[in-house]
Structure 1
């Protein structure tokens, strides 16, 4: 290892800084970080999606914590508290925009991360745990958007929640119980808002942290996936601290700056206060749920369970069980023709449904 890739304590923390680390009993922790070695492609353009996803989660936590300082979880004050934070606090609109766009970008990044893992075949043994924990994370993340939509108590959030609760209620056996558990009664009011708020800022972040610990537990023991091509050479491993940490910090700053600029020039919409009596309001679905909305529209009436449970649940189960269904050691896409064709057909169908849903909700005049 060359001199600037080394992580020696006397070079990183000379003089007073090293003495301070000793006084705070942090010297061992820093040395442990120094001893962690990772592949140098951890932050290359081909392998940085997982790191970006983690950085986006940190950014979401920070922006969400800022907004929580000024939020009041009651129907009479929720909208006004968000309005105050957005339009009266310095950079309030930018911070809310960062929170909004970071969630959308996170879904894209995690989706691309899973897609890349699938194409490279790195879901196979012995990396089943990494894949399954990653899939569960991907399926869990939209729950933050679902619970967060209601919190501003505006028209879009309120009526989108009503649509989702009606879909949940249509699930056989457990649907009605789940709906009443979320609503706290027959109507969406202060109890529902409080429960969504507690889920959004306490229970779900704890569950997310547990899932992340499990995911990184597998990564720590298995490392990054080996190169796809047999003739690829494994480059020398680099110190996690400070080399990779510094790159991650730079990427975090660039991501924050980019999202901040987008929020400054294209602030996210913030509509009128929620009006539970305005039944004429028709919320437009988010882009990531368009194909699900279309499934609900196709399978209506007695067949609604097909669009709300059977097909989405089947696709989720297919993702989770993929490592056990495709047991061949072959990882090259050209040698996994059957699996690649099946995946391509599923993606094309979901894309087709999303396009139809987009045209129906955004291009067709109502």
Structure 2
């Protein structure tokens, strides 16, 4: 008996390709930059209409008066085994008007459009997964799908929504795009994003040079010191990616600013590096300058464990039965899977449809991977009870660090 035949929910999804593509087209053609909260809410409303057609009730979650997320649950209170959380974000990096300039299209088996892979195809896949669970009469876990508003900028609002859901869930599947190779993600770096402001003293650079204190020169000294913190062997990087400052070419710069990006593998590295960055930024290389450093966003690292490794293996085996292949890989990019895993949920990331060119005009989704990747998640959920998770050593495998 095939996997499709043995699990009715998997079979239900088999013939939903065109329906999935129709929903994907609708939400790709809605601008939803992270800062465009009305645009993201329009995506939420389109998803809500889909869920209502499936007999599912949607809950909205507000933070500081903003709709930060919506959620929907299948098998509430009557699922078999431990609860599962499906995660996905509805925001993109693209500005308003991009959907009109580059509307959804399909060419040679690939779908194109702003955010089509990162991660609107994963959002659609998760929506159909939970619909399949709701339509199924077989024993499956309680499954919640959570759709958030601002992952691309570090989830400053939706993180407060994600955390309680992650604490309740035993397992999390984050529908970020599968890698171009088809691989899923079993570890991710964490990221900390800083703003640095430096104050100096303005003076005419010709007539009164000695009276000036250049904030730009202070920033230059700090950049050299910050660059020296990068250790590629340890996978720790510090990048000063934005700089600005000065008043005019013939004035000592009274102010300067910088944006700093830190990437780390684990919490210990995070604490060590944040301390070193603060030390450099608090130091005055040039007397008379004053500096202020602030953290403006942060992603937690997705640190692998033996349990997350076992979840990957279970997923890989189900996908293989469907005729598709996936191995595991680490990513230097950040995602909300770091929040879920750090709250104790056994997590797998990159379970969405295969894609590539993320955040570029060439971003694409492999259309024929939408159904089987969704089916693989469904089949994995159906077999979670077959594993003795308590007996699995929870220590992270050294090979995945």
Which range, TM-score by smaller chain?
under 0.3
State the structure with bigger RCO (CA 8 A, min sep 6), 1 or 2.
1
Greater fraction strand:
2
Q: Name the structure with the higher helix share.
A: 1
